[in-house]
């Protein structure tokens, strides 16, 4: 094969061979290129389905009595389920009453750290949850599925069958119904969970057929997992936010989810059919910080969703607004708590300095005051300082 490679592509060719060698896909050989035997058989089975029709799902027999579920309705179902999850993450605990996903979805969101119980026992979005919202729908979906795999392992489900079913869904045809007859017990148990995430549709829970939605058929492709019509999708859209130097925000959207995300850190003033107007204030940023959202995450969201008109600016966002958001965060972090011990009531200045110097050698001194003859040490260094004082006291009495 080396004879086919032009001189300009030689380095790329050698790098590709080195990568395949590190993955043990190509065994080391100076004479010829040949795939690793195990990889070759596995690759052939993945392409051909191993000779069984069940590898890519078993299409259900056509039933003339049933009305076909068109693609638009299928997309609508997937979009409704997915945006219910995202909208609940954004709105729960803020005084609103968003539609609630299933208990299984809520448990997964809490277990994965995307939501946490607040002081009033309501689930609220966390810093990790807000970072999750910054990702594309495709990345969000895989993040949840990876968490689902961890959960499946704890539930002692067969991970091979779980992964196999997820990848099987990605090879299925959108808009076609498939039979559940050839599915294993683990895979049948997964149907309810995947239905809650919007990855499959069934006429009723006990149905013996199901249809994969666009969310599942695009799992292993670069195609968008959700329809991208304006105002009805959480999928990637053109930027819609304009931020002015006076902290005024104009969001050209009619998407309830996008409006709810903005409401996390923007004080909304007016709503029009396709425009939301608000301001970034100290109180609105402080509220976001209390929910675990950082200043950098707020700025990142504004950059990610900036209007095309904003992208002509350099820098993209007004520097004064960025700096003020970070200053508001620093304002909140002026005080830091730390566990430790306060050492006081020393008999003399010499005793105080002797113990203080020992603590400094251990690098466990947090604060000291020579005038008050006391210092504060870390929790980790307490046992050493206590032992040192006891040894010194015993030495002085003996």
What is residue 105's predicted lDDT score, i.e. its pLDDT? Answer: 93
What is residue 229's predicted lDDT score, i.e. its pLDDT? Answer: 41
What is residue 55's predicted lDDT score, i.e. its pLDDT? Answer: 65
What is residue 295's predicted lDDT score, i.e. its pLDDT? Answer: 93
Pairing of strands 275-279, 374-378: unpaired
What is residue 93's predicted lDDT score, i.e. its pLDDT? Answer: 65
Identify the segments of the chain with pLDDT beneath 50. 229-236
What is the spatial distance between Cα 197 and Cα 84, in angstroms, rounded to a whole number? 9
CATH 3.30.70.2610 domain extents, the chain: 340-397
CA angle at 355 for the pair 352 and 357, rounded to the nearest 5°: 105
The tens digit of pLDDT for each residue in 137-173 reads: 888 999 999 999 999 988 889 988 899 899 899 989 9
What is residue 98's predicted lDDT score, i.e. its pLDDT? Answer: 81
Is the whole model's pTM more than 0.85, yes or no? no
8 A C-beta contact, residue 382 and residue 340: yes
Q: What is the DSSP secondary structure assignment for residue 23, as one 8-state letter?
A: T
8 A C-beta contact, residue 98 and residue 89: no
8 A C-beta contact, residue 72 and residue 83: no
C-beta atoms surrounding 159 within 10 Å: 13
Residue written as token pair 């504060």 = 376
What is the spatial distance between Cα 209 and Cα 177, in angstroms, rounded to a whole number? 6
What is residue 190's predicted lDDT score, i.e. its pLDDT? Answer: 94
What is the spatial distance between Cα 373 and Cα 346, in angstroms, rounded to a whole number? 7
Look up residue 204 and give its two tokens: 């009723």
The tens digit of pLDDT for each residue in 324-382 reads: 999 999 888 777 778 999 999 998 899 999 999 999 999 999 999 999 999 999 999 99
Q: Which residues of 351-390 are buried (b: 16+ CB within 10 A; e: fewer)?
A: ebeebbebbeeeebbeebeeeebbbbbbeebbeebeeebe
What is the spatial distance between Cα 211 and Cα 176, in angstroms, rounded to a whole number? 6
Q: Which residues of 96-113 are buried (b: 16+ CB within 10 A; e: fewer)?
A: eebeebbeebbebbeebe
What is the spatial distance between Cα 269 and Cα 277, in angstroms, rounded to a whole number? 6
On whether the 340-397 domain is CATH 3.30.70.2610, my answer is yes
If residue 352 lies in a helix (H) or strand (E), which one and from where to where?
helix 349-362
8 A C-beta contact, residue 131 and residue 301: no
């Amino acid at each position: 094969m080396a004879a086919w490679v032009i001189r300009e592509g030689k380095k790329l060719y050698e790098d590709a061979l080195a990568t395949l060698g590190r993955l043990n896909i190509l065994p080391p050989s100076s004479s010829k290129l040949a795939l690793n035997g195990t990889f070759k058989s596995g690759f052939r089975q993945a392409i051909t389905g191993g000779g069984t029709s069940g590898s890519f799902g078993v299409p259900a027999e056509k039933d003339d009595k049933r009305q076909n579920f068109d693609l638009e309705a299928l997309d609508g179902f997937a979009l409704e389920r997915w945006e219910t999850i995202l909208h609940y993450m954004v709105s729960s605990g803020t005084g609103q009453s968003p539609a609630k996903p299933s208990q299984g979805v809520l448990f997964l969101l809490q277990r994965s750290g995307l939501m946490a119980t607040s002081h009033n026992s309501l689930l609220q979005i966390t810093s990790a949850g807000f970072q999750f919202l910054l990702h594309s729908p495709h990345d969000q979906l895989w993040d949840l599925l990876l968490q689902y795999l961890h959960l499946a392992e704890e539930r002692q489900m067969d991970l091979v069958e779980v992964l196999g079913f997820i990848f099987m869904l990605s090879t299925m045809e959108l808009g076609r119904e498939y039979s559940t007859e050839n599915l294993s017990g683990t895979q049948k148990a997964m149907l309810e969970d995947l239905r809650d995430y919007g990855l499959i549709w069934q006429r009723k829970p006990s149905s013996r057929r199901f249809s994969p939605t666009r969310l599942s058929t695009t799992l292993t492709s670069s195609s968008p997992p959700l329809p991208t019509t304006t105002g009805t999708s959480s999928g990637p859209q053109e930027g819609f936010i304009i931020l002015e130097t006076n902290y005024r925000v104009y969001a050209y959207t009619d998407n309830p989810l996008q409006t709810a995300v903005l409401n996390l850190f923007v004080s909304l003033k007016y709503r029009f059919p396709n425009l939301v107007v608000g301001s970034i204030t100290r109180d609105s940023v402080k509220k976001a910080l209390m929910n675990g959202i950082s200043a950098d995450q707020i700025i990142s969201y504004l950059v990610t969703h900036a209007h095309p008109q904003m992208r002509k600016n350099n820098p993209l966002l007004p520097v004064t607004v960025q700096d003020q958001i970070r200053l508001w965060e620093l304002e909140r972090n002026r005080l830091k708590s730390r566990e430790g011990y306060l050492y006081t009531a020393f008999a003399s200045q010499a005793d105080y300095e002797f113990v203080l110097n020992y603590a400094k050698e251990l690098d466990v001194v947090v604060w000291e005051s020579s005038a008050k003859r006391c210092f504060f040490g870390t929790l980790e260094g307490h046992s050493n300082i206590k032992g040192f004082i006891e040894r010194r006291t015993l030495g002085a009495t003996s």
